[in-house]
Amino acid sequence: MALTGTRTYVGFGFGAIQAGLFLYEAFQSGAFRRLVVAEVMPDMVTAVRRANGYFTVNIARPDGVEKARVGPIEIDDPAQDADRQHIIDAIAHADEIGTAIPSVAYYASAAPGSLHSVLAQGLRKKAEVGGPRAVIYTAENHNHAAEILEEKVVAEIPARERAGVRSCVRFLNTVIGKMSGVVTDPGEIKAQALAPITPEDRRAFLVESFNRILISRIDFDTPFQRGLSVFEEKADLLPFEEAKLYGHNATHALAAYLGAVRGLRYIAELEQVPGVLPFLRAAFIEESGGALIRKHTGVDALFTPEGYTHYADDLLSRMFNPYLRDTVERVGRDPARKLGWDDRLIGTMRLALSQGIQPRRYAVGAAAALATLDRAVLDGSTSIEPLLTSVWGDAISANERRAVLELIEDGRGRLQGWRASGFRALE
């Protein structure tokens, strides 16, 4: 399959989401003539160039792993002057742009190749030469990524040029419920017969086949035709962002921390632990779903008992896909962040409490996450409050704090009982 379309796509970051979602779907669409990527890792740039611009992504489907070769792409290092100019020129003629970097914290820096600076220069040139209108998909897993990026980019544009730039670009938030990763363990790559990113690379992209991605509604004065037509526009993304964070992400984290306590390596292994799948399903549907349905009833069919049950069952099936080989370590990494006051575990508990629901199962997950920070939590020989205070800080409601702490303390007791029973059914 060759690049036979007419459009140009420019991506920032060459990780699993950029490669296995944006570039793969752009390639499959047949709508694009050019695929251009800015990547800050020189070794990756060199490897893809040596492969003549081609790379391979492994796609985990329910019945096996498919290997998809994508390309040719043009890949550049924005730290290099000539490469940076190439990216700027590509942005000027781009129809769709996607950022898929580790965090919104990396949008701006003082370096000449900073994402916000390169994007600003490209958009200024677009307005100057009359390039096509463009949309920018922000995939940094932040509810306001588009607004943050737009603010930083616009600040780099002279005031007299801003109206012209704004008229030809729209910054879009995304809800990306696609599980993906980069496999670096040679044993894993060999066991699954994964194809490396390039023939010279020792890493492999492994992503699930799911591609139902939600994006902000595009509000140009006249219709805008997307080449990435598989994405679905929503007038208000916030309810769906909450469903991802307090449903998908929260339950995924709950699974990972239960797996860590049980001493498992893979998420899929939890399916063989008595009672864990029903426990996760009940947390997902009754606690997360119950709260989100009460909060967002009438917004979309998702926020109905039938819609949310389908959402939960579909996600649980995908989480336990043995071909995805998602590890407990990867899903559970950075437990301090995931125990944040507004993040997936505590945030879900607070949402449930605000809707009159007792989130006792997610409290077990929070206790299990704390046990990965300090194993003494499981022995009962350490207080959980100081650990959580170091994560939350003090600027929170005392009553809400007390309610959450009491639930987590109860969750710790249930977790201890589960371990003492030899990991029999949690409920």
Instruction: Note the pLDDT of residue 3.
Output: 87
Q: What is the DSSP string of 254-298?
A: HHHHHHHHHT-SBGGGGGGSTTHHHHHHHIIIIIIIHHHHHHHTT
Strand partners, 8: 34
Report the Cα–Cα distance between both ends of the chain, in Å, rounded. Answer: 51
pLDDT tens-digit readout, 112-169 = 999 999 999 999 999 999 999 999 999 998 989 999 999 999 999 999 999 999 999 9
Strand partners, 57: 68, 205
Q: Report helix angle 344-354 to 250-262, nearest 10.
A: 120
Residues of the chain with CATH 3.40.50.720: 7-235
Instruction: Note the pLDDT of residue 393.
Output: 85
The token duo for 347 is 């945030």
CA distance 74 to 237: 32
In three-state form (DSSP H/G/I as H, E/B as E, the rest C), the secondary structure along 52-79 is CCCEEEEEEECCEEEEEEECCCEEECCC
pLDDT at residue 1 above 70? no
- For the domain bounded by 239-420, which CATH number is listed? 1.10.1040.10
The model's pTM is: 0.94
Instruction: Note the pLDDT of residue 238.
Output: 94
Instruction: Note the pLDDT of residue 4.
Output: 87
pLDDT at residue 394 above 90? no
Average of per-residue pLDDT across 175-204? 95
Residues of the chain with CATH 1.10.1040.10: 239-420
Instruction: Note the pLDDT of residue 179.
Output: 96
HSE-up (13 A, CA, CB side) for residue 144: 4
- For the domain bounded by 7-235, which CATH number is listed? 3.40.50.720
CA distance 150 to 172: 9
Instruction: Note the pLDDT of residue 298.
Output: 96
The token duo for 50 is 């040596």
Instruction: Note the pLDDT of residue 270.
Output: 96
Give the residue among 236, 234, 254 at the shortest CA–CA distance from 312. Answer: 254
In three-state form (DSSP H/G/I as H, E/B as E, the rest C), the secondary structure along 115-169 is HHHHHHHHHHHHHHHCCCCEEEEECCCCCCHHHHHHHHHHHCCCHHHHHHHHCCE
Instruction: Note the pLDDT of residue 288.
Output: 98
**Tokens 């997360």 map to which residue?**
288
Confidence of residue 22 (pLDDT cuts 50, 70, 90): very high
**Residue 371, burial from CB neighbour count under 10 angstroms (0-12, 13-18, 19+):** buried
**Tokens 């390596």 map to which residue?**
265
Give the residue among 373, 348, 371, 370 at the shortest CA–CA distance from 361. Answer: 348
Strand partners, 171: 136
Instruction: Note the pLDDT of residue 340.
Output: 95
pLDDT tens-digit readout, 241-278 = 999 999 999 999 999 999 999 999 999 999 999 999 99
pLDDT at residue 198 above 70? yes
| Cis amide prior to 359 (ω within 30 degrees) | no
Judge whether 246 and 288 are in contact, CB under 8 Å.
yes
Residues 6+ apart with CB under 8 A from 262: 270, 273, 423
pLDDT tens-digit readout, 316-353 = 999 999 999 999 999 999 999 999 999 999 999 999 99
Mean pLDDT, all residues of the chain = 96
Instruction: Note the pLDDT of residue 120.
Output: 98
Tally of CB atoms within 10 A around 329 = 13
pLDDT at residue 16 above 70? yes
